[in-house]
Amino acid sequence: MAKTAPETIKLSPDLSSQELDQITLSKSQFTKGLIRFILCTAVAIFVFFTNLTIGGESQIVFGWIYNFFVDLLGNAGYWVLTIIIGGNFLLHVYSRYIDKGKRQKKLYEHYRKEGIAQTFLFGLGTVYTVIYTLHTTTSFVGPEIIVGAATGESVFPPIVLGVLFIILVGAFFMPFLLNYGAIEFVGALLEPLMRPLFKIPGKAALDATASFVSSSSLAVIITSRLYRQKVYTKREAVAVATCFSAVSIGFAYLVISTAGVAQHFTAIYLISFITAFIISAIVVRIPPISRKPDVYYDETPQTEEERKADAHFDKDILRRGGSRAVKRAFVANPVPKDIVISLKEGLQVMPQVLTMLAAIGVSAMILAEYTPLFQWIGLVFQPLLQLLQVPDAAAIAPSIPVGIAEMFLPVLLISENVTALSESARFFLCIVSMVQIIFFSETGTVMLATKLPVKLHELIICFIERTIIAIPLAALAMHLFF
């Protein structure tokens, strides 16, 4: 380790991994950093990755915590949503079109980059939210197209209301996961694997794990936070968000059981897991992801040395990861300060995230339920399914593109006709729907709302790429299994 005096490099929470390597801690400093690293990482593991069974129901501790607040508020939670989403729309209109930064400069700066498209979506989200809240909490009967079981009912309770508390609870506990060494330790160990395979840092493994065991929305929010902290470049942030924000194990089971193939859960989940990584290794090497610049949030370019520094296994890898973790924990802010900062950042992005989820989520479900759009698009996939000898190709083809609206929709569309479809066709459809990853009732919208460096049309292209690559891989797995 280079023996650079601490005063040569200013000790701050923003030090890069390479800068951490250049500092030397005294024995007392090392002990303080080690204790911090162990305690904070233990809290993160307990909250984000530990299953807890209560009353026969099992889920991670994070899920129990945010569901506690959802249940505590009950229907009052919808009024909280209405205040947040409606307030966001009013502040947006006021700052962008009335005040224009004359008196409220900070407010204007917050909404400055949001134009007429955001105005429309913010207004639409407000309308949907007000109607659904009145329908749910009063005698007002909202239009079925907005509040129905296949539209508003499938978006507001599980997704919009859920994400409200995912953001708040996640913001409180995220510093334990991101700021006190866990990222450095995992990153050093997995950099030699993640960098050559997926062209992303080893740190991204934590995003993927958080997604699989907890929430895909949480994984996107973690990615956005790390991007703003200059851990990921623009290309890396988009690659991680679009490739590794998979659905949780619990939701995967719901999808597979709805398709009537729960007896094959282990096989389908394992095949989907492998397929997702194969797809990711491909799409990170083609546009639009490959064309994203390797520059950080502040436009600082990533150097070739940074990309290659730890992209190899050696005998010092464990020591290097541990050393960086302890040093990161030592130079980090006090825990209460980081929690306050994290909560502030969470509250800043929350109104836009919730509003976009309401606007885009409900609109996508309306298109899927009340228009033949996705059935028409599904016709494009039918010849490919027939070529790959997928059974019941005509019946399941319309379900494939509808996954861009909501990940659960592909199997939901066949749920009433499960017994008429072959088991192998349902097996195939589950794998494809689970590896598409980008859906606008949740992950796609959160990516846009948290201002990750990706555009709407790029997300659509990524979805199409993932789907086209997934189809032959899923077909191959289906033929090998059946």
**Chain segment 75-128, per-residue pLDDT in tens:** 999 999 999 999 999 999 999 999 888 888 888 888 887 889 889 999 999 999
Instruction: Convert the pLDDT of each residue in 158-175 to its tens digit.
Output: 888 988 988 898 889 989
According to the model, what pLDDT value does residue 3 have? Answer: 44
Measured in whole angstroms, the distance separating CA 121 from the mean position of its chain's CA atoms is 21
Instruction: Convert the pLDDT of each residue in 367-383 to its tens digit.
Output: 988 999 988 999 999 99
Contacts of 424 (CB under 8 A, 6+ apart): 390, 391, 478, 481, 482
pTM (two decimals): 0.81
Contact call for residues 55 and 41 (beta carbons, < 8 A): no
Question: Residue range 58-74: average pLDDT?
Answer: 86
Whether the per-residue pLDDT at 310 is higher than 70: the answer is: no
Instruction: Convert the pLDDT of each residue in 390-448 to its tens digit.
Output: 999 999 999 999 889 888 888 877 877 788 899 999 999 999 999 998 988 788 888 98
Question: Residue range 206-217: average pLDDT?
Answer: 70
Would you call 59 exposed, middle or buried from its count of C-beta atoms within 10 A (0-12, 13-18, 19+)?
middle
Contact call for residues 361 and 440 (beta carbons, < 8 A): yes
Over the range 414-435, which residues count as b (16 or more CB within 10 Å of their CB) and which as e? beeeeeebebbbbbbbbbbbbb
Which of 3-7, 100-104, 180-184, 266-270 has the lowest average pLDDT? 3-7
**Domain map (residue ranges) of the chain:** 17-247+318-350
Would you call 231 exposed, middle or buried from its count of C-beta atoms within 10 A (0-12, 13-18, 19+)?
buried
Which of 90-94, 179-183, 287-291, 406-410 has the lowest average pLDDT? 406-410
Contact call for residues 430 and 272 (beta carbons, < 8 A): yes
pLDDT band at residue 313 using 50, 70 and 90 as cut-offs? confident
